[in-house]
Structure 1
Amino acid sequence: MKKVKVGVIGTGTISGIYLEAPTRFSILDIVAVADLNLERAKEKAVEYNVKKVYTVEEMLADPEIEMVINLTIPKAHYEVTLAALEAGKHVFVEKPLTIDVEEGKKLLELAEQKGLRVGCAPDTFLGGALQTCRKLIDEGVIGKPVAATGFMLGAGPEGWHPAPDFYYQKGGGPMFDMGPYYLTAFIHLLGPIKRVTGSTQSAFEKRTVTREEDYGRQIPVETPTHVTGLLDFENGAVGTLITSFDVMGGTQLPCMEIYGTKGTLSVPDPNNFGGAIRVREMGAHDFKEVPLEYGYSDNSRGIGAADMAHAIRAGRNHRANGQMALQVLEVMHAIHESSVEGKHILIQNACSRPEILPFGLSQDNQELFEK
């Protein structure tokens, strides 16, 4: 299958794993990088053997490039993705799709008008762990799913992150930081969400940096730091998702669990591609570990872009798609909105449960991506 020529915009920390993607996914051919910091772009180009270093404008003008991977900061996602679509490029963007729901809708409408694809991270749901969990659910191992829980509870990033301020500004917070992983996994496992209810709070008005390099600096808190969402799925299941930067003493809660009429499925951290899966069937005395039945259980970021590239060539739907990313974005906003307005919020932007990956897909058997 003919490779898809790709340009990467944004060469920050996360770019490394994407620039490695062609070594795992033969459909991708990264031919250029661009960044506002040209020196950084040049360094990445040398490190990952990328032929060209461009400005953004030069990249979008290059007719050889079919697809752009947008790794800019979230507030630039809309502007860069819009420009790439207007230039006739397919786009795969890091999460979130945009900051604003209406802007996200505009991007998808433009892409449809121009016959282009928009894909969006996270693509961890395409890893071996969550694909195996999906297979277990589809095979009826736990019966009909009736409920789900997800927990991301911690003390916040000010103890380790070199620039934690963003996490406490509007558009930040634990839900917008980690919610996309959990919500994308839920939609993959259970299907679309139709209604949400939320309750939010902040335990502290200011956070104190505890990293040695910036110890004692105060960060004003401008967004909720403990966010609880109730999720009503179209299939009838009810979910609970709690994300928090206010849990200072740790937790013994699981990352995710799915509860069915015949048993319980313990799902590993959706921020990862692998992890331990456990099932406790009705009547059993304990959980038993289930081996992974799919590949790509290591850090395989880029698999979503590779699946989209194969979909472009094969003329099928891609899995980490813009419609799902838009629903995830709307759900996160709606949880916060529900808390402020004190009411249920109906989700307006529809999506479909993405197809499970073909069984047997591996690095040595990538033609199965064509299915």
Structure 2
Amino acid sequence: MGITVGIIGCGSIAKLRHAPEYQANPYVDEIVFFDHNLERAVELAKEFGGRAVGTVEELFSDPTIVAVSDCSSNEAHHISSSHALLSGKHVLCEKPLAINVEYAEKILQAQTISGKKLMVDHNQRFTKAHQKAKDIIEKKELGEVLTFKTSFGHQGPESWGVDKSNATWFFKKERSHSGVAGDLGIHKIDLIHYLLDDEIEEVHAFHGVLDKVDENGKHIEVCDNVVCALKTKKGRLGTAAFSWTYYGSEDNSTTIYCQKGIIKIYHHPKNQLIIEMKDGGVVNYELEPIQTNDNQTSTGVIDSFIDSILQDKEPAVTGEQALASLKVIEKIIGY
């Protein structure tokens, strides 16, 4: 007998990732959809063989629903995730955990009170190339990590969002809050924390609106580009760039510089992991392509979330880890 799950928010992330991955999971029997736009919920219910509810309260009060994906927009996470937890549901929350640290801490409090699982969708941890890189770093195959650089950029959320419009909520300060920093940047901050088993402590950053305009032709209210220098608690130094204005192919690459060589991740379309040794040797790993907006593959996030519930174990990405990444984003954007 499988479990019933709920999805709050029926935009692109629910349609392209959460719903199909729940549908493919052998332990999930039914998906219940809620969106403020009922038509969207009904549409996804038809597509994935679930059912739609007219109010979020129906979803929270339904005793058959064991777990919930919070795919609402950023400003609503602390409300919907907290309510779901306090209603006795396990929660998988989209990133960022909340629009600020204060709201994120409210979700963690709700999780403590409820005793339910809280996982955050930092899906970069689950790719084979990142997991292989972590293994190499942990085993010190190239010695200690010294420095790093990471970037995440594409053409912007207006080409990916459900409406394909520059009226997207990602461009609105009251809803997105941190622009490209909270959309793409937080993924790479979490990734660096994960790969290095470390935490970014000091930040020097520039951010700005360089090109994006809203539906009225005015510059958007949140940053579309970030460039920063970072220092970790263990003393590693690195740089990071996040952008919604990479008007070509997506860049989702990371380089880790170690004492005995370099780890290049997602620099090459075929060899997703490349090790360049100090002595000139090169090792190429052909693992799997990175998931992009144009290439939707299973992230492994949903399977991991369901497994943590069924096996009663700590989720692969905890609320505390997501909070640590959010603290760095707050330092980067300065509010």
Give TM class, smaller chain: 0.7 to 0.9
- Paired residues for 1:1-371 under 5 Å: 3-16=2-15, 17-51=17-51, 53-153=53-153, 162-165=164-167, 166-170=169-173, 171-202=177-208, 204=210, 207-208=212-213, 217-245=216-244, 255-268=253-266, 276-284=272-280, 287-292=282-287, 299-301=297-299, 303-337=300-334
Worse-superposed segment, 161-170 or 73-82:
161-170
Separation of aligned partners in 2, 1:203 and 1:75: 21
Report the secondary structure of 1:40's partner residue. Answer: helix
User: Are residues 291 and 36 of structure 1, via their aligned partners in 2, closer, same or farther at CA, if it must alter by over 3 Å?
Assistant: same
Q: Structure 1 residues 127 and 54, CA, compared in 2 at 3 Å: closer, same or farther?
A: farther
Query: How far off is 1:164 after superposition?
Result: 2.8
Say which is worse superposed, 17-26 or 77-86, in terms of deviation: 17-26
Residues 194 and 247 (structure 1), Cα distance of their counterparts in 2 relative to 1, 3 Å cut: closer
1:23, CA displacement in angstroms? 4.5
Deviation at 1:25, TM superposition (A): 2.8
The alpha-carbon deviation at position 114 of structure 1 amounts to 1.8
Cα distance change, pair 54–132 in 1 and its aligned pair in 2 (3 A): farther
The sequence identity of aligned pairs, in percent, is: 24
> For 1:23-79, what per-residue CA distance to the aligned partner results, in whole angstroms no more than 9, with x for missing partners?
543233433111112222112111111145452111111111111111111111111
Using the TM superposition, give the Cα deviation of residue 253 of structure 1 relative to its aligned residue in structure 2, in angstroms.
Answer: 8.4
Report if the CA contact (8 A) 2:153-2:184 is conserved. Answer: no
Residues 271 and 284 of structure 2 are in contact (CA less than 8 Å); yes or no, is this contact kept in structure 1? no
Q: Contact conserved, 1:304 with 1:320, CA < 8 A, in 2?
A: no
In structure 2, relative to structure 1, the CA distance for the partners of 1:308 and 1:34 (3 Å cut) is same
CA distance in 1, matches of 2:261, 2:104: 38
Tell me the CA shift for residue 152 of structure 1.
Answer: 3.1
Relative to structure 1, the CA distance from residue 223 to residue 275 in structure 2 (aligned partners, 3 Å threshold; closer, same or farther) is farther
- In 2 relative to 1, CA 51–253 (structure 1 residues): closer, same or farther, beyond 3 Å? closer
Q: Normalising by structure 1, what TM-score?
A: 0.77
Output the CA distance in 1 between the equivalents of 2:50 and 2:231: 45
TM-score, structure 2 length as denominator? Answer: 0.84
Please say if residues 128 and 292 of structure 1, whose CA atoms lie closer than 8 Å, have aligned partners that are also in contact: yes
- Separation in structure 1 between the aligned mates of residue 246 and residue 47 of structure 2, nearest angstrom: 39
CA RMSD, aligned part only?
3.2
- Change in Cα spacing, 1:29 to 1:130, as seen in structure 2 (3 Å) is farther
Contact kept in structure 1, 2:207 and 2:333, CA below 8 Å: no
Whole-angstrom CA distance in 2 between matches of 1:4 and 1:235:
42
Contact 2:32–2:50, Cα closer than 8 Å, also in 1: yes
| Aligned mates of 2:249, 2:43 — CA distance in 1 | 41
SS of the residue 1:177 aligns to: helix
Structure 1 counterpart SS, 2:279: coil
Unaligned residue ranges in structure 1 (runs of 5+): 341-371
Partners of 1:121 and 1:88 in 2: CA distance: 20
Give 1:141 shift. Answer: 2.8
TM-superposed deviation, 1:180: 2.0
* Structure 1: distance between partners of 2:199 and 2:310: 30
Q: Distance in 2 between matches of 1:251 and 1:49?
A: 34
Distance 1:34 1:245, change over 3 A: closer
**What is the SS of the residue equivalent to 1:220?**
coil
- 8 Å contact kept, 2:42–2:51: no
- Judging changes above 3 Å, is the alpha-carbon distance between structure 1 residues 46 and 226 closer, same or farther for their aligned structure 2 residues? closer
Which deviations, in whole Å up to 9, do the C-alpha atoms of 1:290-312 show, x marking residues without a partner? 133999997223x3233232222
Instruction: Name the count of aligned residue pairs.
Output: 324
Contact 2:153 2:252 in 1 (8 A): no
